[in-house]
Structure 1
Amino acid sequence: MQKAMAVAEAFGLGRPVRAMTAHTHRSSPTWVLDTVDGRVLVKQVEVAGREAEVIRAARFEARVGAGGVDVPRPVPPAGEAVGYATYVAGFGWARAYEWLDGRDLRDDDEVAGWLGATLAAVHAVEPVDAPERVAYGIHPAERWHAWLAAGERLARPWAPTLRAGLPAILDISAWVAAALDRAGDYVLTHRDVEPWNVMITSSGPVLFDWDPAGPDSAGLEACHAAFAFATRAGHDWAALRATLTAYAAAGGVVPADPDLLARRVGMRINRLAWRLSMSTGAQPLGPNDLATVDARAREQVEQLPGFAADLRAVGTAIAAEAGLTRP
């Protein structure tokens, strides 16, 4: 109950009627807080060392909402804030949102038209000069060799696999980097448009979790999202095409083949790099188990060439059907 009272005070809410209860723990843990003023959703967020990014994301989220995209309504902190976040003693950095009645997206929900139109609207808000390449797993060859050397020195179980697979990783990374550089359509955007970040309400779908918002390629994000939603239960290529058709109809520009899904490949490389960094001690493990991190890193090294080849083939097929050609 003490934490509930501290959070309620930090956001200028009324007295809690019960202790906070855990809600979900996806990218960040969230809680339900019931007060005499009503129910809110509380989210723990990472702010320390990321203040400028947090403020940028909050400002962008506000602009998107003001432009007509349906987003959750944040509760402004009562005191000192970084974006919509504030530090709560005994709890950490937190955000709060007005409670939204709805349910998780189901596999049979038809959202292709909404998804394409929403992405186009978000991408039209704020262009930028450059994306953040590290989010695509784009690292210099020297860094990969440093991870390999550290892995071999520490006898990490993925090191032999990485030694054998490193040439392929560097080739795939170069393809991803070329796709991102060629895109040129850089904007501030959500950057985590995935099925688990959509809620179905009485007024329609709502895209939430805007904390990762930042610069990216508009078209590559649109294609990544179209693929993610179309494959949440099998491979619904009609839904993928419908999303990209809606995106183009609303003003978005779909990249030419075979780069449609380069972002998704880059995300996979980025997760591999993150695991190598944790395994070699370059960044803390946090709540992660070292053995699990090592095992997943080895799997990702082994699977990356096939994963990239499959997505290049899908991108080429979709682009050919749509009549897209590289400029």
Structure 2
Amino acid sequence: MRSELITRALGLPDPVGEPRPFTYSSSQTWTLDTTDGRVLLKHLPAAQPATLAFERRARAAAIAMPTPVGHPAHIDGVGLVRAYAWIDGRPLRDTDDIAAWLGETLARLHAIEPAEPAGPDWYHLHDDRWHTWLRAAPRPWTPALREHLPDILAATAWVARAFDDTADHVTTHRDIETHNIMITAAGPVLIDWDSAGPDSAGLETAHAAYSLATHHGPRPDRAAIRRVLDAYTAGGGTAPTGPDVLARRAGIRLGRLAERLRMSLGEQPAGPRDLTENETRAQAQIRSFPAFTHNLIRYADLFT
């Protein structure tokens, strides 16, 4: 990408040098220095006008989040690109206590906009998709999927049932995990908003609290969950509870597993991922699914 073309298209100040690749996980990003400071350029493959509009409402609600600069634009050979002011921060550490901030942020976020009952696309993986992948050309993960298909289908039904049983659908971030929280001198910042859309407030809160509670290790910290929920209810939210409280976590795992299978079969670009490693990881995720969902059901007691 030519820096002059980018800054002109996005309405940014004059560039200083060329863009440099930064990270490439779900979306490709670059850094670019301008006469008014550094910006982060991000490819938004799934961005919709409604998503960008919700970002503006979240910012107006005082959610700590990246600040966009310029305006989104289509860049030849890349797609839709947006620029954000550079955040001088670091990843979350084990010693960072952000439980109260997380609960307050979730409460403020969930008060912005109600939504029609819906969840991210990966919550609606129909049975025929798994059967289709099983019938495809054999891959290293095929034997594991054949063995554990009943477990996968049971988890899919569990997630669908949990969402059908909720009535607290809101427009929200939908990817509140510890890796999407940066620590700055001014406090935590919630990044990566391009998956924003409708979800369940309670199931997202439980998922976010569980993500924070397992940041230190595989066994969740009950006290951390309690601090998140206390701050959430103090901010006006309703604390999630019940046997299906962590079903969303299974939904996320199903979605990421499905993504790996699509990449393995050439149905979706692999991006920077090594396909052999991707298939090995998919096989391991399939084999671990029974234990994974068993633990989620067992840990629902942490929310009582």
TM-score normalised by structure 2 residue count: 0.92
Q: Residue type of the partner of 2:302?
A: I
How far apart, CA to CA, are the structure 2 residues paired with 1:280 and 1:20? 32
The equivalences for 1:233-312 within 5 A come to: 233-234=216-217, 235-312=220-297
The equivalences for 1:307-322 within 5 A come to: 307-315=292-300, 317-319=301-303, 322=304
Q: 1:23 touches 1:32 (CA, 8 Å); kept in 2?
A: yes
Q: 1:103 touches 1:201 (CA, 8 Å); kept in 2?
A: yes
Q: 1:133 to 1:118 in 2, by over 3 A?
A: closer
Structure 1 residue 88: deviation in Å? 2.2
**1:53-87: per-residue Cα shift (whole Å, max 9, x none)?**
5211110010011122122211132xxxxxxx211
**1:162-189: per-residue Cα shift (whole Å, max 9, x none)?**
1221112212221121111112211110
How far apart, CA to CA, are the structure 1 residues paired with 2:179 and 2:127? 34
2:237 aligned counterpart, secondary structure: coil
Q: 2:43 touches 2:81 (CA, 8 Å); kept in 1?
A: yes
Q: 1:35 to 1:177 in 2, by over 3 A?
A: same
Counterpart position of 2:67: 73
Structure 1 residue 196: deviation in Å? 1.9
> Identity, % of aligned pairs?
48
The equivalences for 1:173-192 within 5 A come to: 173-192=156-175
Q: 1:276 to 1:26 in 2, by over 3 A?
A: closer
The CA RMSD measured in Å over matched residues stands at 1.9
Asked if 1:41 is matched to 2:40, the reply is yes
Counterpart position of 2:203: 220
Q: 2:57 touches 2:112 (CA, 8 Å); kept in 1?
A: yes
Q: Which runs of 5+ in 1 are unaligned?
A: 78-84, 323-327
1:254 aligned counterpart, secondary structure: coil
Runs (4+) off by over 6 Å: none
Structure 1 residue 90: deviation in Å? 5.2
What is the aligned counterpart of 1:113 among 100, 107, 124?
Answer: 100
Asked if 1:7 is matched to 2:2, the reply is no
Q: 1:3 touches 1:91 (CA, 8 Å); kept in 2?
A: no
The equivalences for 1:189-204 within 5 A come to: 189-204=172-187
Counterpart position of 2:149: 166
Structure 1 residue 95: deviation in Å? 0.7
Asked if 1:22 is matched to 2:21, the reply is yes
Structure with max Cα Rg: 1
TM-score normalised by structure 1 residue count: 0.86
Asked if 1:143 is matched to 2:90, the reply is no
What is the aligned length? Answer: 302
Q: Which runs of 5+ in 2 are unaligned?
A: none
How far apart, CA to CA, are the structure 1 residues paired with 2:262 and 2:277? 14
2:170 aligned counterpart, secondary structure: strand
Structure 1 residue 91: deviation in Å? 4.8
Q: Residue type of the partner of 2:130?
A: W
